[in-house]
């Protein structure tokens, strides 16, 4: 089963290329580190204390103010560090949002995605082809976690570090700042096999598989469409959607649902893989890749523009079209709903209390 999935992924990634003998200059493997200089050291707290916090209340065993006694400044430390990092690395917030999604959908929000080694010796989640080089941000969490360790050794879990970072990142990207829920504990193992067991979506999936996965994780179809609005920030590399602009379903023609101007725009950036010019750059999902706005949905409605096949499905089903239309028409509504559904995502099957541990460094268990 596991093997079959790996073969499927490999096929998916490599059937996009016309010239099968061509060696691709990239591939899946251990995630590369983002090449960003260390942010300058300072303890400036960038958070605007006067900004109204939207109250999340309680969510299961998670709660606002969890580190009130053990690390009262935790959220400010995260905010200060992330503000610095995002100055030099504008992709940081997109990296982190995706990292959290991939963490939470596999077992739960337990920072299992961050482990480089599992005590069991098994292959870890992050080494899976399902995550691969395309999943970035683990080193951002290293930086932020080390700032937390300086001030509150052993207090704040890696899963909360990631959750606080995403929460703060969403504020930096334009959403109202919310108080973050804390209390997640870190896993003491990470298994690639679980990531590969139908817990992470592939960009060539049909809508039914997407719906099945998100429903299994406790989300409605509406919530799935709202979460996919995360594709308002960040980018996708050419190879994950190349098929649509050059060789859709092996027709050697672009996807007919993509209008010609969109195909042209994308072909400008993504050269035909059969040519020597072929590179694999990242392409921004929309024209405002650092802002959590509703341009992702607007582009769909006004231009039929999507990069991923899975995103395009949303324009093609009576259950999802009305949600896309609604979100395209009301940015404030999407931002509000997105923040709410992200709370749900970041609370998925968390370990709390005395389960798991609070890791000292996020790449290894204590
Ligand atoms: C059917 C569901 C989904 C599929 C198939 C999917 C697939 C992808 C793919 C292929 C990329 C591009 C990776 C790359 O080339 O670097 C991507 C990027 C991204 N995804 Fe998704 N995704 C899905 C749902 C989600 C959800 C639910 C979230 C978060 C709530 C999310 C957040 C992101 C973000 C922020 C990026 C940009 C990452 C960056 O620029 O570093 N995705 N996704
Ligand atoms: C929830 O987490 C526990 C470990 O904390 C794990 O054993 C269980 O399989 C997880 N549930 C799901 C649906 O992944
Ligand atoms: C988008 O695609 C649909 C169906 O393929 C088509 O009916 C519609 O006219 C297209 N809209 C634009 C703006 O291209």
pLDDT mean over 79-106: 97
The pLDDT assigned to 274 comes to: 80
Q: Do 208 and 285 belong to one domain?
A: yes
Distance CA 98, CA 162 (A): 11
| Token code pair at residue 136 | 């970035």
* Over residues 66-71, mean pLDDT: 98
Eight-class DSSP state of 179: P
Residue pair 286/327 in contact by the 8 Å Cβ criterion:
no
Closest residue by CA, ligand 3 atom 4: 257
In a domain, 195, yes or no: yes
Q: Please check whether residues 177 and 40 belong to one and the same domain.
A: yes
Q: Is the CB of 356 under 6 A from ligand 2?
A: no
Task: Return the ligand 2 atom nearest residue 349 CA.
Answer: 1
pLDDT tier for residue 210 given thresholds of 50, 70 and 90: very high
Residue 137 is part of a domain; what is its CATH number?
1.10.520.10
Task: Examine the fold and report which residue of 150, 181, 199 is the final residue of a domain before the chain moves on.
Answer: 199
pLDDT confidence of 133, banded at 50, 70, 90?
Answer: low
In DSSP terms, 236 is beta-bridged to: 283
Which element (helix H / strand E) includes 63?
strand 62-64
Structure-block tokens of residue 194: 């679980």
42: pLDDT strictly greater than 60: no
Give the sheet arrangement for strand 181-182, strand by strand: 58-59, 62-64, 181-182
pLDDT band at 272 (very low <50, low <70, confident <90, very high): confident
Domain-located, residue 324: yes
Q: Are strands 58-59 and 62-64 parallel, antiparallel or unpaired?
A: antiparallel
Question: Catalytic: 102?
Answer: yes
Q: Name the residue range of residue 129's domain.
A: 26-199
Together in a domain, 109 and 240: no
| The two three-digit tokens of residue 288, written as one number | 């405002």
Distance 262 CA to ligand 2 centre (A): 42
Please say which residue of 143, 176, 199 terminates a domain: 199
325 CA from centroid of ligand 1 (Å): 21
Expressed in angstroms and rounded, the spacing between residue 21 Cα and the centre of ligand 1 is 29
pTM: 0.88
Question: Can you tell me the mean pLDDT for 271-278?
Answer: 84
Instruction: Reply yes or no on whether the pLDDT at 151 is more than 90.
Output: yes
Mean pLDDT of 3-31: 35
Which listed ligand is nearest to 281 at the C-alpha? 1
Catalytic entry in 98, 102, 145, 359: 102
């Amino acid at each position: 089963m596991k093997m079959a999935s790996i073969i499927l992924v490999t096929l998916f990634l490599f059937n996009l290329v016309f010239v099968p003998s061509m060696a691709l200059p990239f591939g899946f493997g251990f995630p590369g580190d983002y090449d960003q200089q260390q942010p300058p050291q300072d303890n400036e707290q960038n958070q605007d204390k006067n900004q109204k916090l939207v109250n999340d209340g309680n969510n299961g065993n998670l709660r606002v103010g969890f580190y009130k006694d053990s690390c009262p400044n935790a959220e400010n430390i995260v905010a200060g560090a992330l503000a610095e990092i995002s100055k030099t690395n504008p992709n940081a917030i997109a990296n982190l949002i995706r990292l959290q999604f991939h963490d939470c959908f596999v077992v739960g929000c337990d920072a299992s995605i961050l482990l480089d080694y599992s005590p069991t010796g098994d292959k870890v989640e992050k080494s899976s082809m399902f995550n691969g080089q395309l999943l970035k941000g683990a080193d951002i969490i290293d930086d932020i976690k080390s700032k937390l360790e300086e001030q509150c050794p052993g207090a704040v879990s890696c899963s909360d570090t990631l959750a606080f970072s995403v929460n703060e990142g969403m504020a930096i990207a334009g959403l109202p700042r919310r108080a973050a829920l804390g209390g997640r504990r870190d896993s003491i193992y990470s298994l690639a096999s679980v990531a590969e067991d139908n817990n992470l979506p592939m960009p060539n999936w049909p809508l039914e598989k997407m719906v099945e996965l998100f429903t299994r994780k406790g989300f409605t179809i509406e919530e799935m469409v709202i979460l996919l609005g995360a594709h308002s920030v960040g980018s996708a590399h050419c190879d994950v959607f190349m098929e649509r602009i050059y060789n859709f379903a092996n027709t050697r023609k672009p996807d007919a649902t993509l209008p010609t101007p969109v195909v042209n725009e994308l072909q400008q950036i993504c050269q035909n893989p059969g040519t020597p010019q072929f590179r694999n750059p990242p392409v921004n999902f929309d024209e405002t890749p650092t802002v959590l706005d509703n341009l992702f949905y607007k582009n769909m409605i006004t231009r039929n523009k999507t990069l991923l096949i899975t995103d395009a499905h949303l324009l093609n089903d009576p259950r999802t079209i009305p949600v896309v239309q609604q979100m395209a028409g009301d940015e404030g509504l999407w931002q509000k709903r997105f923040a709410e559904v992200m709370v749900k995502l970041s609370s998925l099957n968390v370990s709390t209390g005395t389960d798991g541990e609070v890791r000292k460094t996020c790449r290894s268990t204590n």
